[in-house]
Amino acid sequence: MSGRPRAAIGIDVGGTKTAVVLVGVDRGVVLGLREIDTAASAGAGQLHDRLETELAALVAAAPVELVGVGVGVPELVTPDGLVVTDVVVPGLRGDLVTRWADLGVTAVEADVRAAAVAESRLGAGASCSSFGYVSVGTGISHCLVVDGVPWAGVNGAAILLGSGVLTDRASFGGPGGTSALEEFASGPGIVAQYTAAGGVADSARDVLERCAVDDVARSVVTRAGRALGQGLAELVNLLDPQVVVVGGGLGSAPGRYWESALAAARSAIWADSARAVPLVQSSLGPLAGAIGAALIAVAGTP
């Protein structure tokens, strides 16, 4: 034994940002954090090379015994850890544990399931026998957790809330027809709607921050929140969980977006007995995915 505290690294690859955290194994405390732009279009190879530098710097700054490295990715991951899509980051598909062995990677999981594990062990889901976790950022995804175990589905595809729930465009200010929830409620969706209405913004956070002084921003954010609320209600209608926890960079943000989502969800939950289900924001915020990836690297998925 080295006498140094044991720690694991969690990497949360996002569509916009990638977070790298050093987590103390014994208490689940974040000991260090680094964040980089994902530069997703440049592919997995360049991300690997930049992560190599970040991991080395993180470990060098903390006197710990590193016992594992986990990666959460915004892609479909099979129950045995194979990445089977590379929609967000080209080149991520395949066996990352083998391909990124030089980084010390010991576990790979879908980012939303990694975040759900963190919330189950350390966050808003810790006292729940079942909860639905929803991550909202560049994309929108979900996970059902029962007795601490995230349900992956047979093929690892039980995460597709943002792609699979269709909304009536006319109800949210668009043309007729249907589209995926992500088109209205995700970060890029909010920016696209704001831009189409004549606004200029670099990120969804910019639009959210303008709600108090910009009528267009307020209208776009309200519609986006209502669309998210419809998705949350659909999750409750399908799964009837004890609690719904909402996280991710956008899902953790307070204000009009979240308030609009809450109001819309309540009105769209069908069963009277389920309408009062607690809808809460993540205790761990945007870092849940990275923390969960570190926990899975040490103990595996429950």
Same domain, 225 and 247: yes
Region at 243 (left for phi over 0; alpha for psi -120 to 50; beta for the rest): beta
Domain CATH number, residue 292 = 3.30.420.40
Mean pLDDT along residues 282-287: 95
Domain assignment present for residue 151? The answer is yes
pLDDT for residue 168:
63
pLDDT tens per residue across span 176-221:
566 789 988 999 999 999 999 999 999 999 999 999 999 999 999 9
Same domain, 109 and 41: yes
Please say if the pLDDT value at position 1 is more than 60. Answer: no
Same domain, 244 and 265: yes
Close Cβ partners of 90 (under 8 Å, ≥ 6 residues apart): 40, 41, 43, 44
Close Cβ partners of 59 (under 8 Å, ≥ 6 residues apart): 9, 22, 66
Same domain, 83 and 26: yes
Domain that holds residue 152: 126-282
pLDDT for residue 4:
84
Lowest mean pLDDT among 34-43, 57-66, 71-80: 57-66
Same domain, 132 and 276: yes
Please say if the pLDDT value at position 283 is more than 70. Answer: yes
